[in-house]
Amino acid sequence: MPPIRLEGLVKRYGAVEVLHGIDLDMAEHEFTVLVGPSGCGKSTTLRMIAGLEDISAGEIWMGERAVSNLDPKDRDIAMVFQDYALYPHMNVAKNMSFSLRLQKRPKAEIDRKVRDVAEMLGLSPFLDRKPGELSGGQRQRVAMGRALCRDASTFLFDEPLSNLDAKLRGQMRAELALMRQSVKKNMIYVTHDQIEAMTLADRIVVMHGGHIQQQGTPTELFRNPANKFVAGFLGAPPMNFLDAILVSQGGDLMAQGKGFALRLPPALAARATKLAYKQVTLGLRPSDLEYVPDAPEGAGLNLKVIVSEYVGAQSVLICDCGDARVTVEIKSETPIALGETLRFAVRPEGLHLFDPKTEVAI
Ligand SMILES: Nc1ncnc2c1ncn2[C@@H]1O[C@H](COP(=O)(O)OP(=O)(O)OP(=O)(O)O)[C@@H](O)[C@H]1O
């Protein structure tokens, strides 16, 4: 039995159903990230696991126990909220030890636990400070430390970095990644930020419209998105989508559109030949295009550069391709001029096709 299993989880608010049957198995000590746009149902799912929301249908299992009817305190979980919810009048040590003191655990045990967790999170110098005397990032770590002190088997995080500025967010993301290497617990983390999902998760669960769209490792989802939504949601800048028609040419299958004709690699061509339709949506990630002036016929496309955004080592080019726009990521030192038409090679494994009606990957 997996440590956490969601079985056909449904949530209704009155007549409105917002979660339509969520099935999810977590592996032991897995870091699972629920990610999706605002309103997709990720926080509701997390709050149902925590016991903060009633379940309309379905069941939540923790090991062999069905927990849907248990109080939050009986579920062996600790939660870190978006707003930290620290007690302003207590110092860091007292905030962190709050639940242990509530359980009347021996003082020596409490002191040891707080010391160990503070050490791990770099909070040792701040144990006597009140939350108001800490930076946003330090407060965030205290909220994390308070959860870790509880020694629960499962940790739930609801957008814990969303109140931080971009720089601190990046730092805390790295600290979280470091922390999870040493903390062997089940962790479920909710975010709308695909970069957090990609960098932290063992397993990403992409949600949209109250459904799970796809789940898997970050690499699986990035390389083999199940549908156009997942393809467009993960990755920055996002995947380009172009209308294309499948055409046979000298034994090859090509995806042809306004201003391009790209040869499909064998495995994709084999799947595409079985289709009953010819009209497809072609997906190309900006990082799967490379400036290669002599890219051969069928392996590249010509793009007219209209905007160049310098972002350090990389530049993002926005280009015209027929009447569509295509974004490309290139090394900044590549000599390009605005208005030029340049040739880009496409990595064959970077070609994605989607059914234009169902948006399912081909
Ligand atoms: N108390 C409520 N009554 C009615 N509808 C609600 C209630 N709480 C949430 N919803 C609806 O349920 C859906 C899912 O909300 P949820 O908060 O889980 O989304 P989310 O993916 O976490 O979004 P966000 O990132 O904005 O928090 C939304 O459409 C929301 O409007």
Q: Which of 202, 233, 264 is the last residue of a domain?
A: 233
259 shares its domain with 221: no
Residue 153 and residue 147: Cα distance in Å, rounded?
11
- The CATH code of the domain that includes 131 is 3.40.50.300
Which atom of ligand 1 lies closest to the CA of 47?
18
258 shares its domain with 288: yes
Ligand 1 binding pocket includes 192 (Cβ within 6 Å): yes
Ligand 1 binding pocket mutation candidate from 13, 16, 158 (most atoms within 8 A of CB): 13
17 shares its domain with 84: yes
Ligand 1 binding pocket includes 38 (Cβ within 6 Å): yes
Do the domain assignments include residue 359? no
Ligand 1 atom 14 nearest Cα: 41
Ligand 1 binding pocket includes 13 (Cβ within 6 Å): yes
AA identity, residue 313? A
Instruction: Tell me how far the alpha carbon of residue 201 lies from the centroid of ligand 1, in angstroms.
Output: 23
Ligand 1 binding pocket includes 18 (Cβ within 6 Å): yes
Do the domain assignments include residue 154? yes
Do the domain assignments include residue 360? no
Give me the pLDDT at residue 79, please.
86
Q: Which of 189, 215, 233 is the last residue of a domain?
A: 233
Report residue 337 as tokens: 């001029």
What distance lies between CA 344 and its chain's CA centroid? 29
61 shares its domain with 105: yes
167 shares its domain with 293: no
Do the domain assignments include residue 284? yes
64 shares its domain with 122: yes
Cα–Cα distance list, 164 to 46, 51, 170, 195 (Å): 21, 27, 9, 15
- The CATH code of the domain that includes 250 is 2.40.50.140
Ligand 1 binding pocket mutation candidate from 44, 46, 49, 81 (most atoms within 8 A of CB): 44
Q: Which of 211, 233, 255 is the last residue of a domain?
A: 233
Instruction: Tell me how far the alpha carbon of residue 41 lies from the centroid of ligand 1, in angstroms.
Output: 6
The Cβ of residue 238 has, within 10 Å, a number of other Cβ atoms equal to 15
Ligand 1 binding pocket mutation candidate from 12, 43, 47, 208 (most atoms within 8 A of CB): 43
Ligand 1 binding pocket includes 39 (Cβ within 6 Å): yes
255 shares its domain with 172: no
Ligand 1 binding pocket mutation candidate from 9, 16, 18 (most atoms within 8 A of CB): 18
Ligand 1 binding pocket includes 80 (Cβ within 6 Å): no
Give me the pLDDT at residue 44, please.
95
Instruction: Tell me how far the alpha carbon of residue 227 lies from the centroid of ligand 1, in angstroms.
Output: 23
- Structural domain range at position 299: 240-354
What distance lies between CA 14 and its chain's CA centroid? 30
Ligand 1 binding pocket includes 218 (Cβ within 6 Å): no
| Tens digit of each residue's pLDDT, the chain (362 residues) | 668 999 999 999 999 999 999 999 999 999 999 999 999 999 999 999 999 999 999 999 998 899 998 988 888 888 887 777 789 899 999 999 998 898 888 999 999 999 988 988 888 999 999 999 998 778 888 988 888 888 788 999 998 888 777 887 888 888 788 877 877 889 999 999 999 999 999 999 999 999 999 999 999 999 999 999 999 999 989 999 999 999 998 889 999 998 899 999 999 999 998 888 899 999 999 999 999 999 998 999 999 999 999 888 889 999 999 889 999 999 888 878 889 999 999 998 999 999 999 999 99
Give me the pLDDT at residue 152, please.
84
- Domains identified in the chain, total number: 2
Report residue 201 as tokens: 């998760």
25 shares its domain with 164: yes
Residue 38: which of 171, 202, 208 has the closest Cα? Answer: 208
Do the domain assignments include residue 199? yes
Report residue 116 as tokens: 């160990």
194 shares its domain with 248: no
Ligand 1 atom 22 nearest Cα: 43
Ligand 1 atom 4 nearest Cα: 13
Q: Determine the 3-state secondary structure of 53 from DSSP.
A: coil
What ipTM does this complex have?
Answer: 0.95
18 shares its domain with 153: yes
Do the domain assignments include residue 362? no
Burial degree of 19 (CB within 10 A; 0-12, 13-18, 19+): buried
Instruction: Tell me how far the alpha carbon of residue 158 lies from the centroid of ligand 1, in angstroms.
Output: 13
Give me the pLDDT at residue 34, please.
97
Ligand 1 binding pocket includes 40 (Cβ within 6 Å): yes
Is the backbone peptide bond immediately before 286 cis, with ω within 30 degrees of 0? no
Do the domain assignments include residue 299? yes
Strands of 168-233, DSSP E: 186-191, 203-208, 211-216
Which atom of ligand 1 lies closest to the CA of 190?
22
22 shares its domain with 136: yes
Ligand 1 atom 16 nearest Cα: 41
Instruction: Tell me how far the alpha carbon of residue 39 lies from the centroid of ligand 1, in angstroms.
Output: 5
Do the domain assignments include residue 95? yes
217 shares its domain with 304: no
